[in-house]
């Protein structure tokens, strides 16, 4: 019986040290993930206007602005896919519209990072904005031009 008790104690000690070692390995990754969530980049519309200069050859943002190679982006933040009348969107984008897809900040960020990841058969030739801060700034800039997001902000101004 004494050998069994020693064996059980050894097994318990081993399991305890393995749990501590695993926790020590996982804890930094968990802390890093939590810190990333806490430091989400807040976009600056003024900086976004500068970044948007890369988009101006194909897009306009003012209300009633013309479509160019790409659609006018007035009111895009919070709008449904393919919301603009009079622009011929890709069949793939229209399929996503039928699924109820919305241009929320998360979707816009993913699209601006790599358009083909969001609309694989889309027609936009732009390769994307790799920097998260650039995407956040552009989205903040676009949000100042009408649409559900801007209307909500206007109805409930910050104190």
Please write down the HEC assignment for all residues of the chain: CHHHHHHHHHHHHHHHHHHHHHHHHHHHHHHHHHHHHHCCCCCCHHHHHHHHCCCCCCCCCCCCCCCCCCCCCCCCCCCECCCCCCCCCCHHHHHHHHCCCECCHHHHHHHHHCHHHHCCCCCCCCCCCCCHHHHHHHHHHHHCCCHHHHHHHHHCCCC
Looking at every residue in the chain, the average pLDDT score rounds to: 82
pLDDT (0 to 100) of residue 90:
96
> Which pLDDT does position 40 carry in this prediction?
73
Average confidence (pLDDT) over 111-124: 95
Decide if pLDDT at 32 tops 80.
Answer: no
Q: Which residue has the higher pLDDT, 124 or 60?
A: 60
Q: Tell me: pLDDT of 116 over 60.
A: yes
Look-up of token digits 């807040």: 42
Q: Does pLDDT of 110 surpass 80?
A: yes
Instruction: Give the pLDDT score at 23.
Output: 45
Q: What is the mean pLDDT of residues 74-94?
A: 95
* Domain boundaries 45-155, corresponding CATH code: 1.10.760.10
Q: Where are the domains of the chain?
A: 1-39, 45-155
Q: Look at residue 109 and tell me whether its pLDDT is greater than 90.
A: yes
């Amino acid at each position: 019986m004494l050998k069994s008790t020693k064996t059980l104690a050894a097994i318990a000690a081993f399991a305890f040290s393995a749990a501590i070692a695993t926790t020590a390995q996982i804890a930094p990754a968990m802390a890093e993930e939590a810190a990333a969530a806490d430091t989400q980049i807040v976009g600056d519309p003024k900086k976004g206007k500068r970044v948007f200069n890369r988009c101006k050859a194909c897009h306009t943002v003012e209300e009633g602005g013309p479509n160019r190679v790409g659609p006018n982006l007035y009111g895009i933040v919070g709008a449904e896919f393919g919301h603009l009348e009079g622009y011929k969107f890709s069949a793939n984008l229209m399929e996503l519209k039928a699924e109820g897809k919305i241009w929320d900040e998360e979707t816009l960020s993913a699209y601006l990072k790599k358009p083909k990841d969001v609309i694989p058969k889309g027609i936009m030739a732009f390769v994307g904005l790799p920097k998260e801060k650039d995407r956040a700034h552009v989205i903040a800039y676009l949000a100042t031009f009408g649409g559900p997001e801007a209307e909500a902000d206007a109805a409930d101004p910050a104190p």
